[in-house]
Structure 1
Amino acid sequence: MKMNTLGLPVVETKELVNDLNILLANFQIYYQNLRGLHWNIRGKRFFDLHVKFEEFYNDSQLKIDLIAERVLTLGGSPLHTFADYIEHNRLTIGKNISRDEEAIQLIIDSLSDLLGIERKILEASGNINDEGTNSMMSDFIAEQEKTIWMLKAWMEDEI
């Protein structure tokens, strides 16, 4: 088995880079959805949600950079065009959402979809002992699971 300079198997690492790029594309869509929610939210919860959505999109912007840098660390090239993002998108695209509950549901659904991608990456990175990617995915997953729990509590829904 041929190994790269990081001590990871070359073929499996290329597959992992592809999966990370899919995650990157979907995070870009998630980020843009959050921007739209931030701009378009209306109603009695405007002040709270406007700030919360900004917090979420700032966090997702940091994660986007971490994912892209991990792709580079593993020897790949991060996707960076809107065409690439749309091609690899698995999330619902939110357009002109201004109602609070619809906005929160979009975030819950998006995070659930991102968790699916991240768990696939976590399994693949674990299989090749890629602790850098594994650690990043574990951190993302734990944080997003907690966010889903909080948002579902806000919606008065069960997990």
Structure 2
Amino acid sequence: MEKLSNIGLQKEDSRHVAEKLNELLANYHLYYQNLRGFHWNIKGIHFFQLHDKFEELYGSALSRIDAIAERILTIGQQPLHTFSDYMRLSSIKEAANLSGDKETVSATHQNLSILLDLEREILKLAAETGDEGTVSLISEDIHENEKTLWMLNAFLS
């Protein structure tokens, strides 16, 4: 039995990385859906700014969802693709009926914190297994999410 994948990574290592990437994929789907709801339902004095910001964030999340799924395929594994799997695996929960500025930004902050914690776990695992492609993908995502978290903190302070 061949121990190396088509791209030269240990198959067993890739399986472990893919499990964590699928967990990230699930969380990103819930994050994305929450942002869509916030975009549609935001009310109040900050409507125009937050309506646009939530659209920007969910557009970015959608791109990341695709990149994560493609990375899972690249390392020879199967990305999850059902919402029931996402709901089962995600630490991020649905944020229903939120429409105020502070509550939607606070929920987004909380969701991003969950994503960052998971990304840091994946970064460490991928580095330990020599999976530079995943390291690169996740490093870039961490950088962007940290910047967004900083901005959300500024809004909430």
Quote the offset at 1:92 in angstroms.
3.0
Count of residue correspondences: 156
Which residue pairs with 1:97 in the alignment? Answer: 98
Deviation string, structure 1 residues 3-40 (Cα, Å, up to 9, x no partner): 22211111111011111011001100000000000011
Alpha-carbon offset, residue 77 of structure 1 = 1.1
Q: 1:110 is matched with which residue?
A: 111
CA distance in 2, matches of 1:119, 1:7: 23
Q: Quote the Cα distance in structure 1 between the aligned partners of 2:111 and 2:129.
A: 28
Matched, 1:2 2:3: yes
Give the CA RMSD over aligned residues: 1.0
| TM-score after normalising by structure 2 | 0.97
- How much does 1:135 deviate? 0.5
Taking the aligned partners of 1:125 and 1:144, their CA distance within structure 2 comes to 19
Separation in structure 2 between the aligned mates of residue 4 and residue 75 of structure 1, nearest angstrom: 7
Is 1:92–1:106's contact at 8 Å kept on the other side of the alignment? Answer: no
Q: Which runs of 4+ in 1 moved over 4 A?
A: none
SS in 2 for 1:109: helix
Q: Secondary structure at the match of 2:91?
A: coil
Aligned-partner SS, 1:80: coil
Q: What runs of 5+ residues in structure 1 fail to find an aligned partner? A: none
Which residue number in structure 2 is paired with residue 142 of structure 1? Answer: 143
Instruction: Indicate conservation of the 8 Å contact 1:72/1:78, yes or no.
Output: yes
Amino acid at match of 1:73: T
Partner of 1:85: 86
CA distance in 1, matches of 2:108, 2:83: 20
Aligned to 2:39: 38
Unaligned runs of 5+ residues in structure 2 are: none
Counterpart residue identity of residue 23, structure 1: L
Cα pair 1:122 1:133 within 8 Å, conserved: yes
AA of the residue aligned to 1:143: E
Q: Distance in 1 between matches of 2:130 and 2:25?
A: 21
Query: Percent identity among equivalent residues?
Result: 47
Q: Distance in 1 between matches of 2:7 and 2:153?
A: 40
Task: Give the residue type in structure 1 aligned to 2:147.
Answer: K
Q: Give the residue type in structure 2 aligned to 1:147.
A: T
Asked if residue 128 in structure 1 is aligned to residue 129 in structure 2, the reply is yes
Q: Assess if the C-alpha contact under 8 Å between 2:13 and 2:129 holds in 1.
A: yes
Letter in 1 for 2:50: L
**Amino acid across the alignment from 1:8:** L
